Structure 1
Amino acid sequence: MRLTEEIEESREVSSRTLPGAIEDDAGAGRTVRRRRRVGYGLLVVLPTVAGALALAEAGRDGGAGGGSAHGPGASTTAVLLLAAAAVLVVARGAGALAERLGQPRVIGEICAGLALGPTLLGRLAPDVFTWIFPKPVVTGLDALAQLGLVLFMFGVGQELSQARGTAREAQGALLVTLASFLVPFATGAALALWLYPRYEGVSSEPTAFALFLGCALSVTAFPVLARILADLGLLGSGTGRLSLYAAAVGDGVCWLVLTVALALAQGDGPGAQWQTLLLSLLVTAVLLGPVRAGLKKVLDGPLGRSPAAVLTLCTAGVAVSAGVTAQLGIHQLIGAFVFGLAWPTTSRGTSGEAQSAAVHTLAQLLLPFFFLGFGLSLDLGELSLDTGNALMLAGMLAAATLSKILGAGLAGYLSGLTRTDSLVLGVLMNTRGLTELVVLGIGHQAGVIDDQLFAVLVLVTLVTTAMTGPGLRLIQTAVAARRRK
């Protein structure tokens, strides 16, 4: 009975006090909200407005006084990042489109670089072109391009070093290798006698011009060739191995000849030229001798099991080798190429192979910046296709194609290949691709050739590379049709 009375009493008390308590809580809540609004106004809105007015006034003062110290740098950084993103995205999309069309990815990336330059973007949207590629931005992108190039040449040197073992498996390897290099080289050197007076560069040296033109017609793009063989299922065939070996040795000889041509183009006199060549040979001997042996010993040791250490060693070695040859007056890519030859091909229980593959991946990521630089330095719209230049373009395309196909194909046939395999071999060796563009860029930068011949040789490179895949598919279709009959 007592418990019941206490409960009832508590209910009466609650009924009398609860409404007042609720009213007090509501009043306190309104007070807090008013205070919060005042805080936002004083501590957020007012400082924001004051800061914006101050920045606007500072901007007007900076414009009147010639610019602030931070504005241009921040703007350049933003444009550099936007330009880098645009180059990577456009190159990736163009490469994917090229693959869908049955072409190597590099064809699309090259075309993307040309499209972003004055050839297309500079004509269709000159304001956009000027805004996204000002000189400071181009300088930054060129640094990325040079890094990508030296890493790419390191990979080329690696691949050529690994391809030497295919000689024992390739029938007629020596004859095919010599013919696929010497026939186009002789053709280019002979054409130089006709082209030199009109298309010489600022470094007017006839022997350097002839050597360079011979190299330009002799190059076979080893990486692109390997990709085409893989796409067509010919990588393990005898003809595929033979083409890879011939391309490897031929490109190695081309780089040696190009070194001589660059030394001659320096114009410092015979003594300085021979000194440069001897120093280059000395650096090459050191890299392929003691450095290679030391690298193998290091990679087989405890340091070789550290991915970070191996990657650092690889990248630093490429940079040092490239820098040394650049200091000697020979192009930095030759040093990176020789270091690639010196990098050990096998290392037991090490991460050397994986980390050198990482360097190759980084090079592939950065190569679109090289294609952009190529496109910025070349305006195909300014190519004067008068009667003389048109004939020269047609003659260069015919000479480049026939000398490669006939030279390598006939050598293959005389070495025992069938007519079909000989023709396939010749078409494969006509692939020039990125390696040819690197050679052309070096020659143009050194002043060996002028802008007109540079543009013509770029077109020849694109056409000869693009015709390889369709040509091989046409041969395969013809052979299949003949078998069905």
Structure 2
Amino acid sequence: MNDSELARFFLSLVLLLVGALAGGHLFERLKMPRVIGEIVGGIALGPSVLGNIAPEAHRWLFAGFPAQTALLSAFYWFGLVLLMFIAGFKMQADGAAGSRHIVLALVVGALVIPFALGYAGAPLFADTRLGDPLAFKLVMGIAVAVTSIPVISRIFLDLGLMGTPFACNVIGSATIQDLVLWTILAVATAVQSGDAADATGIGRVVATTLAFVLVSLFFVPAGVRALRRWIIGKSSEASLTGYSMLLCLIFVAAASLLKVNIVFAALVAGLVLARFPSRHLAPVKQHIADISIWFFVPIYFALVGQRLDLAQQFDATLTLLFIVASTIIKLASCTVAARAANIDWAKALDYGIAMNTRGGPGIVLASVARAANIIDDRMFTALVLASILTSLATGLWLRWRFVRNPMLFSEPARLPAE
């Protein structure tokens, strides 16, 4: 790259970060999920807004020379990897509590039934499929079942509900659900790439993925402890931050060589780091989360928005059908499952709405599926919009319920025994 191209690249990064942070701040002030504002900031800089108002300026800023797209794509993937890494080491801490009875019911209601119906209903959206039919069905099953731990956790934090029985049950079930769904996504991308063309290939991919998880969670921590004891010794906080980031990159690189989905590998790396509850690592995790959430992840979400071309890619009928159908399925199955766990109908509906929050994971799913050429741009847009709208709906609903009765979500809300 020459100096002019380098300057243009840094200018595009500055604009993406400013747009994301400004949008996030605005939405935060409006008591809405910050991640949605970051995406909206990207939409404003993309073909949907800037591209329509000043197409030449948009092209000059974001596609001015051949390597610029690849460079921005590198930031896109690095932000996505760090987002999943953070989700991994926060997952165990936030999802450890909760009533097993209710969590199990919610897993069935939010995972098993929606995934099965999404998988079975995939042919309704067959005209948005680009790749392997099985990979497409798996992605559609995940799209209906996915729940966002980061967004729902942020809503709970904003309302002061984190630690309540309601929040613990939602996050506990979402944790189990997401681990299963990311494993399925790893299989879907392997099927699409041709690494699992038949039943034998699928079995090999599932076995490789499970082996990767088992080795990572049960053997890698012992090896890391040995390295820290014999090689690293007493490390400073700064060096531990670097080593933790290195751990994430090693997992992603190893997964790439083993043909395991790298997004899933980043999540597993975070789970491995969560196995070290040392007080010395608490500030390290916070440092990684801070730099990621305030720099790399906003750029990732801004690039998601920047890739949306609502004028060309938005299919109103498709988007409405998917959002309405998937929401009805998720709400009905979760509400009935919670009711079966002896929760009253009103609180059961609260569980259904909370579990329907797609948020970041829904957008990650859309990103991975589109990058793997499993879905087309219209379905990518529909999945992103579904993630945005369900997150907004959950935030508004829970805030309304909380304002009416601040003690509502702190109570078990079980039906009285007869």
Aligned to 1:30: none
Corresponding residue number in structure 1 for 2:194: 267
For residue 366 of structure 2, what is the aligned residue in structure 1? 440
RCO comparison, higher one (Cα < 8 Å, 6+) = 2
CA root-mean-square deviation: 2.3
Report the counterpart of residue 408 of structure 1 in structure 2: 334
**Contact kept in structure 1, 2:183 and 2:209, CA below 8 Å:** no
- Asked if the contact 1:91–1:109 (Cα under 8 Å) also holds between the matched residues in 2, the reply is yes
Once residues 405 and 356 of structure 2 are traced to their aligned partners in structure 1, the CA distance between those partners, rounded to angstroms, is 20
Q: Give the counterpart letter for 2:375 in structure 1.
A: I
Residues 289/474 of structure 1: CA separation in 2 closer, same or farther (3 Å cut)? same
Q: For residues 180 and 296 of structure 1, what CA distance do their matches in structure 2 show?
A: 37
Deviation at 1:222, TM superposition (A): 0.4
Amino acid of the residue matched to residue 430 of structure 1? N
Q: What is the deviation of 1:308? A: 2.7
Residue in structure 2 matching 1:137, options 51, 68, 93? 68
Match for residue 257 of structure 1 among 184, 189, 204: 184
The corresponding residue for 1:326 is 256
Aligned counterparts of 2:152 and 2:227: Cα–Cα separation in 1: 32
| Cα-to-partner distance string for 1:289-316 (whole Å, 9 max, x where unaligned) | 1102333555688746421331122111
Aligned-pair CA distance for 1:159: 2.0
Does the alignment pair 1:158 with 2:89? yes
> How does the TM-score come out when normalised to structure 1?
0.77
The code of the aligned residue for 2:80 comes to L
CA distance in 1: counterparts of 2:373 and 2:74, whole angstroms: 21
Q: Give the corresponding residue for 2:5.
A: 76
Match of 1:23 in 2: none
Q: Which amino acid aligns with 2:253?
A: G
**2:325 maps to which of 387, 399, 411:** 399
1: CA distance between counterparts of 2:152 and 2:228?
A: 30
CA distance in 2, matches of 1:298, 1:166: 32
Q: Give the alignment partner of residue 44 of structure 2, picking from 110, 115, 119.
A: 115
Q: 1:296 to 1:108 in 2, by over 3 A?
A: same
Q: Which amino acid aligns with 2:243?
A: L
Task: Please give the residue correspondences for 1:237-316 in structure 2 after superposition, counting only pairs within 5 Å.
Answer: 237-268=164-195, 269-270=197-198, 271-296=200-225, 303=233, 305-316=235-246
Q: CA distance change for structure 1 residues 304 and 108 in 2, over 3 Å: closer, same or farther?
A: farther
**Alpha-carbon distance between aligned partners in 2 of 1:179 and 1:296, rounded to the nearest angstrom:** 39
Would the aligned equivalents of 1:306 and 1:351 in 2 still touch at CA under 8 Å?
A: no
Using the aligned pairs only, state the percent identity: 29
In the alignment, structure 1 residue 383 sits paired with structure 2 residue 313? yes
Query: 329-338 or 138-147: which moved more?
Result: 138-147
CA 176–138 in structure 1, closer or farther in 2 if over 3 Å, else same? same
Q: Give the corresponding residue for 1:426.
A: 352
Unaligned runs of at least 5 residues, structure 1: 1-71
Residue-by-residue CA offset, 1:49-89 (whole Å, 9 max, x unaligned): xxxxxxxxxxxxxxxxxxxxxxx610112112222211111
**Does structure 1 conserve the Cα–Cα contact (< 8 Å) formed by 2:122 and 2:140?**
yes
Task: State the SS of the aligned residue for 2:2.
Answer: helix
Q: What is the correspondence of 1:125-204 to structure 2 with a 5 Å cutoff?
A: 125-134=54-63, 135-167=66-98, 169=99, 171-196=101-126, 198-201=127-130, 203=131
Extract unaligned runs of 5+ from structure 2.
Answer: 409-418
Confirm or deny: 8 A CA contact 1:410 1:422 kept in the other structure. Answer: yes
Q: How many residues align?
A: 401
Give me the whole-angstrom Cα distance separating, in 2, the residues matched to 1:404 and 1:421.
Answer: 15
Q: Tell me the alpha carbon deviations over residues 144-167 of structure 1, each in whole angstroms, 9 at most, x when there is no partner.
A: 222222111111111222244214
* TM-score of the two chains, using structure 2 as the length reference: 0.89
Q: Is the 8 A contact 1:209 1:261 kept in 2?
A: yes
